[in-house]
Structure 1
C-alpha cells in the first residue's frame, strides 16, 4: 500500500532522540515504527500498553488531607531539612520507579 498521508507530531526532543537511538539499533526508521504502531492499533483495536495514573500514596496525597495535616507535614519537612535529614531527588525518583 502506498503511503500518501503526512502525519506531523510534536514530541519531546529527548524522547525523539532516545527513540531514534533504539530504532537505529533495530534498523527501523521512525516513520516505519510509527506506521507499525498504528497498524497494530487497527489490527487489535487497542493501544498495546496500559495507560494508567500512578496511585499516590495516602501519606502524601494532599487531596485526602485536612489543612492541619498538610501543615504538620510541611513543618516536619522543614525540621528535617534543617536537621540535614534529606534524600536526593534522584534517589527518591529511583525508588518510586522501582515500586511501579
Structure 2
C-alpha cells in the first residue's frame, strides 16, 4: 500500500534530536520508526510496552518530613545494630533490583 497519510505531532526539540541521533546511528529514518511503532500497536492491539510508573528506590522528593525522618531513624538503627553492607554491594544490589 502506498504511503499517502500524513502524521503531524508536536514534541520537545531535545527529545526529537536525541531520538533522531539514535535512529540515524541505526540507519532508520524517523518515518520508518513511526511506521514500526504503529505496526506494533496494531499487532499488540495496544501500546507495545508497559505503561507504568517505575518502582525506583525511595524518592525523598515524594516524602513528607515525618516519612523522611522515619527512614533516617531506620537507617541509623540498622547501623547501630551492625546490619550494614559495603557501599559497593549496596549500589550493586539496587541496580540489580531496579534494573538500572
Say whether the fold is shared (TM-score over 0.5): yes
**How far does residue 56 in structure 1 lie from its aligned partner after superposition?**
7.3
User: So what's the TM-score if we normalise by structure 2?
Assistant: 0.55
RMSD: 3.1
Q: Which residue of 2 aligns with 1:44?
A: 44
Which consecutive segments of 4 or more residues in structure 1 shift more than 2 A?
A: 54-62
Separation in 2, partners of 1:18, 1:4:
27
Deviation at 1:46, TM superposition (A): 2.5
Count of matched residue pairs? 74
Alignment of 1:1-100 (within 5 A): 1-55=1-55, 60=60, 61-62=62-63, 65=64, 69=66, 98=95, 99=98
TM superposition shift of 1:19:
1.0
Please give the TM-score of this superposition, normalised by the length of structure 1.
Answer: 0.55
Which structure is richer in relative contact order (CA contacts within 8 A, separation 6 or more)?
A: 2
Unaligned runs of 5+ in 1: 74-97
Q: How far apart, in 1, do the equivalents of 2:59 and 2:18 lie?
A: 34
Q: Where does structure 2 lack aligned partners over 5 or more consecutive residues?
A: 70-94
User: Per-residue deviation at 1:59?
Assistant: 7.3
* Counterpart-to-counterpart distance in 1, 2:57 and 2:27: 41
